[in-house]
Structure 1
């Protein structure tokens, strides 16, 4: 995984690089959309986010990797148009640089609070890669 660079400008998720929060929409079995606010980092042609194993979005993503991502307020209210994407669960080795990027962009929240909370609650932290679908 390359560090964020000027080549990111042409990347499919470039407009999300400076966003603090995005709304990630996953889909229930019946197709009902479920929007959730998440923190995202962009690196090259992909965007990344983390969640915990018991989260509803993780359960929905195990069944259907199709998502929509849109810029949003901290509360998850969309502020722009959504982009179709596919989510892929990362392995431990692939997640290391993503953890570093999240820690750099959100030092207190993603660098300390979220990892500690996941550990205390005995959740497994999951990292996902988003790829643009055309």
Structure 2
């Protein structure tokens, strides 16, 4: 595992920035977990993140707070991300996130089977970030 992946994978929250077609970035605080050379994010499918990643794989990442607040001197990283919707990919990201966040994540997922039965409930997707490199300030 390289230094960038190790550093970001150790953060409690990471600001994931995906890009609109016009190049404008949209940032979201996410839980992130390392798995080999990849960084994994679990998300609800058909969100803005997954829609933006359908047309550009470019992402930027920075450590942040739960509210998405980024320290002025926070390092910035670039990578490529892809969305995976198959059951194996979603299971992989859930295992990695569960292993990192422990009971916090398990508590949130306890109600998931019930929530999955609600009308309009969207399935989960896995975002896999690769090729992470630090950007110069």
Q: Aligning the two structures, in what range does the TM-score lie when normalised by the shorter sequence?
A: 0.7 to 0.9
Distance in 1 (alpha carbons) for counterparts of 2:21 and 2:37: 28
Q: CA deviation at 1:118?
A: 5.9
The structure number with the bigger radius of gyration is 2
Partners of 1:55 and 1:97 lie apart in 2 by: 20
Q: Deviations over 1:25-79 (max 9, x none)?
A: 0011111111110000012211000111131111111111110011111111223
Rounded Cα–Cα distance in structure 2 between residues aligned with 1:36 and 1:132: 20
SS of residue matched to 2:27 = strand
Q: Which runs of 5+ in 1 are unaligned?
A: 1-7
Which residue of the partner structure matches residue 89 of structure 1? 83
Question: C-alpha separation between the residues in 2 aligned to 1:133 and 1:103?
Answer: 22
How much does 1:22 deviate?
0.2
TM, length-normalised to structure 2: 0.79
TM score, norm. by length of structure 1: 0.81
- 4+ residue segments displaced more than 6 Å: none
Deviation of the 1:107 alpha carbon:
3.2
Distance 1:26 1:112 in 2: 28
Count matched residues: 126
Which of the pair has the greater relative contact order for Cα pairs under 8 Å at 6+ separation? 2
Structure 2 residue aligned with 1:125: 124
CA displacement, residues 85-116 of structure 1 (integer Å, 9 cap, x when unaligned) = 01112332233232111112223443342571
- Counterpart of 1:104 in structure 2 is 99
